[in-house]
Amino acid sequence: MAPINWNRPGVARLLWGYASEPMRPPLPVRRGALIGCLLALPIGLGAAGCTIPEANLSNLRAAHQPDGSLSYRGDIRNSFQYVFSQWTALLPTEIIGITDDGSALAGTASTEGLIPDPATVSLDNLLGIAEADSSNLLDAGYQIEAFGWLGPDDQYVLGRERAVIELGRAAQRLEVNEALAPPAVPAGPEDLSPVLADLARSVLGDVSFASMLEDAEVEVLEVTPAATPGEVTFEEARTALDGLELDRQGALRVLALCDVLLAQNEARLVASDPVSTGLRELAREAQATIVGLALGECLDDDAPIVRAAAVRALAGVPAGPAPGLLELAATDPAWEVAAAGLEWVYDNGLPLERVPEAERPEARDLWIRFLVGQAQSPETRLSFNACRALTTAVPEGPQGLRPEDWTAWFRASYPDQALPEPLVARRAEDDGSAL
């Protein structure tokens, strides 16, 4: 199989990017995916049995603008169409017309078409890419590229919710135990691009596959300025990258570069090679950073179902909910979000795993006061979920779902304390302030 080249615009965009747009690198198809689809060809073109994450990610990019808004024109392809389009891309040109003097006009024909329902296309491909094997580092990278982009940015609320659900599964796999806040002053493209160029050069040189880039090599290695003059080792490029504060867009660009390098040379990278090991470690770290940052943004999403999904995702991490997560969720004015926090308490008990042993009795009392207060809410769904959570948190209590029962129990158990009142946070968009 002949090597697949990076297209020039893709390489330039990969290394330079745009300040306001997520990364959209070229997606080379892998040998294994191609062979699998060819073997499945007798079953029928477009068969559901052949799923290629690269095709799903390509369709998601076609169905959206870079800012996540839906696009009604694009190139949507099933897995077979995507694979064969990669084969035709190996040809230098194709005949797309005839000039006035009768000579052939060479170029690349546009295959964009109308997308009548981009929201459905997006959701279908989110579900498709979620089925990829996340134990494969490259497939997992494509998943995080999609979910980390569309979780916070998708115009379609059900698309954001689905992406956040999948980010929660990725958080468990990557052991991301809490949401991350973006840096106050993140590195911009002018800082990140030269470092990514150095990183690409170091990998290309060390694993000896620069010849695979052929004429695109000039654009990668010469047009893009280097952060450091002369030859740069992978360790030096990695150290320079570690010195940058990355936001979600920056981390997406790092992951995109790692995925492109891994996809182009999956068969050539030896697991024991230091550069291969370092590249894989960098890809995993970029995935974890994107997951943490994306979930942090989704906790403040305008749509309650997305905020609820983010709460469930962060509550299900291996270390348990971070302090304050469930309390904040349970005070959300949207009952869906409050229920998400209280349901976790009902299913798992009070989140005291991260509380020091000596402070747990006081933390338990605070939680009981909080839950009894929420049970007094006039919002019946919030009151019901608070009472249900109390049945798990206080096994010696009345075990009922009526707030009156828990009110009586609290007054008998804490006679010197006033009955707590329900707390409801005000979101920033309500009046310019937040709890």
Structure tokens at 297: 């943004």
Stated pTM of the model:
0.79
pLDDT of 266 reads: 63
Q: Residue 113: which pLDDT band, with cuts at 50, 70 and 90?
A: confident
Q: What is the pLDDT of residues 419-434, one digit of tens each?
A: 999 988 755 444 333 3
Residue 72 pLDDT > 80: yes
434 against 53, higher pLDDT: 53
**Structure confidence at residue 126 (pLDDT):** 96
Report pLDDT digits (tens) over 298-330: 999 999 999 999 999 999 998 889 988 999 899
**3-class SS string, 167-216:** HHHHHHHHCCCCCCCCCCCCCCHHHHHHHHHHHHHHHHHHCCCHHHHCCH
The pLDDT of residue 405 is: 96
Q: Read off the amino acid at residue 401.
A: L
pLDDT at 416 > cutoff 90: yes
For the segment 97-125, the average pLDDT, to the nearest whole number, is 70
Q: Stretch 373-401: mean pLDDT, rounded?
A: 94
Q: What is the mean pLDDT of residues 53-60?
A: 91
> Hey, what are 287's tokens?
């995935």
The helix/strand count (H/E) of the chain reads as: 19, 4
The one-letter code for the residue type at 49 is G
CA distances from 277 to 131, 135, 282 (A): 26, 16, 9
Mean residue pLDDT of the chain comes to 79
d(CA 234, CA 3): 23
For the ranges 102-106, 142-146, 253-257, 275-279, the lowest mean pLDDT is seen at: 102-106
Which one has a higher pLDDT value, 349 or 30? 349
- Segment 72-101 shows an average pLDDT of 61
Over residues 104-117, mean pLDDT: 66
- The pLDDT, as a whole number, for residue 51 is 59
Judge whether residue 123 has pLDDT over 90: yes
The predicted structure's pLDDT at residue 271: 56
The radius of gyration of the chain from alpha carbons, rounded to an integer in Å, stands at 26
Structure confidence at residue 89 (pLDDT):
52
Residue 30 predicted with pLDDT over 50: yes
- Amino acid 134 reads S
Poorest-pLDDT segment among 73-82, 275-284, 408-417: 73-82
Percent share of the chain, pLDDT over 70: 71
> Which one has a higher pLDDT value, 226 or 9?
226
pLDDT over 80 at 219, yes or no: no
The confidence score (pLDDT) of residue 396 equals: 94
